[in-house]
């Protein structure tokens, strides 16, 4: 049975991992006959957002502890991820990717990326194992993969431009479609960058995971 690593960035679309995308990733991995294990960095998240009002809370939360909510407690510190134990990697979206795993939400083309995440993703790439980036997560591609690696982040021009300035080659893509860089084994799909419903998000994520398993 194939085993897939999932890296989460907290819990909640505005300050962590997008919950629908994360759960759909788990569901479709199992439906394709594989298993998964979840990881998250043991760091403080950038800030805390009240998802009812959109207001920022004056408190601190831990990315690993928050991500454990989605994983039902079955999650490990990113530092313990052994790439040799997995066949592929998936990174769901949510603003946690752009706030906790990187600074893309604030610095765009001048953003930095969490070093432990970069090393992990590059280890998957060096072992020729595919990685699927969902929603805003393709903003990480330029930090991790060679110049010109194909990626999609939906159709927002400003976001796409920043992604290209970081080194990826952006391809405009529909919500139910994917972009595959076969040479680099990198898959991306817009998910909630474009999706207006959970059904639309599911269609693209399912297609991205099918592409991932087709590469294996």
For the annotated catalytic residues, the residue numbers are 135
| Cα–Cα distance for residue pair 101/116, rounded to 1 Å | 9
78-166-77 Cα angle (round to 5):
5
DSSP per position, 9-63: --SSTTTS--HHHHHHHHHHHHHTT-EEEEEE--SB-S-EE-TTT-PEES---BH
182 neighbors 149 (Cβ within 8 angstroms): no
Q: Tell me how far the alpha carbon of residue 72 is from its chain's centroid.
A: 19
3-state secondary structure of 101: coil
DSSP per position, 140-206: GHHHHS-TT-EE---S-HHHHHHHHHTT-EE----TT--EEETTTTEEEE-GGGT-SSHHHHHHHHH
| Cα–Cα distance for residue pair 209/195, rounded to 1 Å | 17
């Amino acid at each position: 049975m194939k085993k897939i690593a999932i890296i989460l960035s907290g819990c909640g679309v505005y300050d962590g991992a997008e919950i629908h995308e994360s759960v759909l990733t788990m569901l479709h991995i199992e439906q394709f006959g594989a298993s998964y294990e979840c990881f998250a960095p043991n760091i403080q998240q950038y800030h805390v957002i009240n998802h009812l009002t959109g207001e920022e809370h004056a408190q601190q939360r831990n990315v690993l502890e928050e991500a454990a909510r989605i994983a039902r407690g079955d999650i490990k510190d990113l530092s313990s991820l052994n790439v040799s134990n997995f066949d592929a990697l998936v990174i769901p979206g949510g603003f946690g990717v752009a706030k906790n795993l990187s600074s893309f939400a604030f610095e765009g083309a001048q953003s930095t990326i969490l070093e432990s995440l970069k090393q992990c993703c590059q280890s998957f790439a060096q072992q020729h194992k595919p990685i699927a980036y969902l929603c805003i997560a393709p903003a990480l591609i330029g930090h991790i993969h060679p110049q010109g690696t194909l990626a999609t982040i939906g159709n927002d021009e400003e976001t796409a431009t920043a992604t290209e300035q970081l080194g990826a080659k952006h391809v405009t893509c529909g919500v139910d479609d994917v972009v595959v860089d076969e040479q680099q084994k990198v898959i991306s799909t817009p998910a909630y960058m474009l999706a207006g419903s959970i059904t639309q998000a599911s269609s693209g994520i399912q297609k991205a995971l099918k592409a991932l398993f087709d590469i294996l």
